[in-house]
Amino acid sequence: MNYLSDIKEILYSPRDIDERIQGLAKQIQTDYNGEDVVIISILKGSFIFTSDLIRYINLRLTIDFIHVSSYREGMTSKELIINKGLSSNINNKHVLLIDDIIDTGNTLKQVKEILTKENPLSIKTCVLYNKPSGRKVEMVADYVAYDVGNYFIVGYGLDYNEKYRNLPFVGILREEAITKI
Ligand code: IMP
Ligand code: MG
């Protein structure tokens, strides 16, 4: 099956994303001002974004991953399940938490709360996409690459039913593709 034919519109090309990420990395590097940072990437959606972003950040950083799932009831994500926790100690460290997209806000808010209990020196959040129209809980990410409208996007790590993560661009899925999976 060819993924490309399932895409209605390409929103961000690989070049667009690369340029924006370089800008974001520069801002992060300036803000942390030479401090060491622990990058925590929320799997699976942010794995491509994280790997591209960190290569533009010239700081002494370490990387860890947390894998969570949220069980949705209707349109609202409910309880958060941790499939894989951290493998490092973040006590007294500067933490930068990275996710692919903030929609209802539940995932990032809950993961931030869980990590805050481990007493990091600071904790900030960074997302590739912010969908303000989806917000159900109060949550503002510290770093946002793009604000997006009220549509479902895939590619560059973002999935629909675990598919399309490997598309090199970000696009809107065709209605027909949603029903055929
Ligand atoms: P939240 O908890 O509602 O903020 O949801 C965040 C998670 O929902 C993301 O990590 C994605 O896995 C998923 N999500 C929300 N909107 C989209 C979208 O437009 N495309 C792909 N995944 C999305
Ligand atoms: Mg997902």
- Dump the DSSP string for 49-76: HHHHHHTT--S-EEEEEEEEEEEEETTE
User: 91-110 burial string, b = 16+ CB within 10 Å, else e?
Assistant: eebbbbbbbbbbbbbbbbbb
Give the position of tokens 């590097």. 29
pLDDT tens for 55-79 read 999 999 999 999 998 766 544 556 7
Cis amide bond preceding 84, omega within 30: no
**What pLDDT score does 72 carry?**
62
* Beta-ladder partners of 154: 171
Q: Give residue ranges with CB within 6 A of ligand 1.
A: 45, 70, 77, 99-107, 131, 152-154, 158
Atom of ligand 1 nearest to the CA of 151: 19
**What pLDDT score does 43 carry?**
97
Contacts of 162 (CB under 8 A, 6+ apart): none
What is the mean pLDDT of the segment spanning 22-39?
98
Is 159 catalytic? The answer is no
Q: Residue 179: helix, strand or coil by DSSP?
A: helix
In the reported structure, the alpha carbon of residue 101 is separated from the centroid of ligand 1 by a whole-number distance in angstroms of 5
Q: Are 170 and 154 contacting, i.e. CB atoms less than 8 angstroms apart?
A: yes
Distances (CA, A) of 64 to 61, 73, 104, 154, 158: 10, 29, 24, 24, 19
What is the mean pLDDT of the segment spanning 12-34?
98
pLDDT tens for 143-159 read 999 999 999 999 999 99
